[in-house]
Amino acid sequence: MPRANLSISQELYDQIEKAAKKENVTVNYYICEMLEEKFSKKTVYGYALAIANMIDEAKKMDKEFTLADLPTFASVGEVVKEYKIAESPAQVRARLGKMFNEAVRKGTAKGIERAVVKKNGKEEFKFLSRAAVYVNSSKTKKK
């Protein structure tokens, strides 16, 4: 996949970063999405909307979950097929997974955290069949 290197002013970058954070996406994804909307003749996947939906769905979870438990993530294959999106479902899921994990890591998915497990006296991130496990800490702390 080709790469583009942009040199922009700090002020412009700050504006783009602020807009990207509002959408719960990285600056890179935000710029790519804008360029795809402007120049692509194909239907593109709406990552910003998908991430927002996934965060909302995660906030409704009352037990540990993986991304596959979220309806938006689970339906990626159907959406890609229905709208004839150029990317494969695996590519979309990989990008969504990275974006969701970053939103959790940066705290923009408030209340959602990576689940942890103790191994040999140390806390480690929990995985289920190599998939990251998350928890809605706002619901688990209320119990």
* pLDDT tens, position by position, 14-53: 999 999 888 878 888 889 888 887 887 777 788 889 999 9
> Helix, strand or coil for residue 88?
coil
Q: How far apart are CA 135 and CA 58, in angstroms?
A: 8
Task: Dump pLDDT digits (tens) for 94-110.
Answer: 999 999 999 999 888 99
By residue count, the chain amounts to 143
pTM of the complete model: 0.75
Contacts with 85 (C-beta within 8 Å, 6 or more apart), sequence order: 42, 43, 44, 45, 79, 92
Q: How far apart are CA 66 and CA 69, in angstroms?
A: 6
Q: For the chain, which residues make up each domain, given as ranges?
A: 10-142
